[in-house]
């Protein structure tokens, strides 16, 4: 019985050690998406990374909370569909 309790305690400790600490980060996703939509109307960049960086800079100017790194995964996930849609529309016109 004592051995079983030790194994369970060890397993639970291992699981808890892998969990992220603290409160999850909160970003205003709708605001970031709105900034991306606004910027894509100005013009389509040649590369996705440049567009993501432009969105990051504009969010900083508008005081919208964004990840610290300009090329973060979150911003790329938000900006990629908007960017690809605009590139497709641009290709259809040409």
Rounded to two decimals, the pTM is 0.71
Nearest to residue 32, comparing CAs of 11, 61, 8, 3? 61
Q: Hey, where are the domains in the chain? A: 26-93
How many CA atoms within 13 Å lie on the side-chain side of 36?
A: 27
Kindly report, residue by residue over 7-23, the tens digit of the pLDDT. Answer: 767 776 777 667 667 77
pLDDT at 17: 65
pLDDT at 10: 74
Residues of the chain with pLDDT under 70: 1-2, 5, 8, 12, 16-17, 19-20
Nearest to residue 35, comparing CAs of 5, 12, 11, 61? 61
Residue 26, token pair as written in the block: 């909160």
pLDDT at 8: 66
């Amino acid at each position: 019985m004592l051995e079983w309790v030790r194994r369970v305690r060890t397993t639970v400790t291992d699981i808890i050690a892998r969990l992220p600490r603290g409160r999850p980060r909160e970003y205003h996703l709708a605001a970031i998406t709105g900034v991306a939509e606004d910027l894509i109307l100005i013009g389509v960049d040649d590369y996705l990374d440049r567009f993501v960086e432009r969105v990051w800079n504009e969010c900083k100017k508008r005081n919208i909370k964004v990840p610290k790194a300009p090329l973060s995964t979150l911003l790329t996930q938000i900006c990629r569909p908007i960017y690809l849609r605009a590139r497709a529309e641009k290709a259809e016109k040409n």
